[in-house]
């Protein structure tokens, strides 16, 4: 799965949980925070991927 697809999936899950939370489901807030943590992890993975790719490029 691509990094973009992973982020899109997490954002969709976040949207769903936030909507539930806003309707009064307090446990959805916990799940939303967990999804936000997953988004943070995926974003960090993307940052590492980009930095590694930059370092391995041959100088011009």
Could you state, in order of their start, the residue ranges of all structural domains in the chain? 1-11+26-60
Q: Torsions phi, psi of 57, nearest 5?
A: -65, 145
Q: How far apart are CA 45 and CA 3, in angstroms?
A: 8
pLDDT at 31: 98
Q: How far apart are CA 1 and CA 6, in angstroms?
A: 7
pTM of the model: 0.82
**pLDDT tens-place values along the chain, 60 residues long:** 799 999 999 999 999 999 999 999 999 999 999 999 999 999 999 999 999 999 998 666
- Whether residue 46 contacts residue 3, with contact meaning beta carbons closer than 8 Å, is answered with yes
pLDDT at 58: 67
């Amino acid at each position: 799965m691509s990094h973009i697809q992973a982020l899109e999936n997490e954002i969709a899950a976040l949207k769903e949980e936030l909507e539930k939370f806003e309707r009064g489901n307090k446990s959805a807030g916990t799940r939303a925070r967990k999804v936000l943590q997953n988004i943070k992890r995926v974003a960090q993975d993307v940052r590492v991927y980009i930095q590694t790719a930059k370092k391995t490029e041959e100088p011009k």
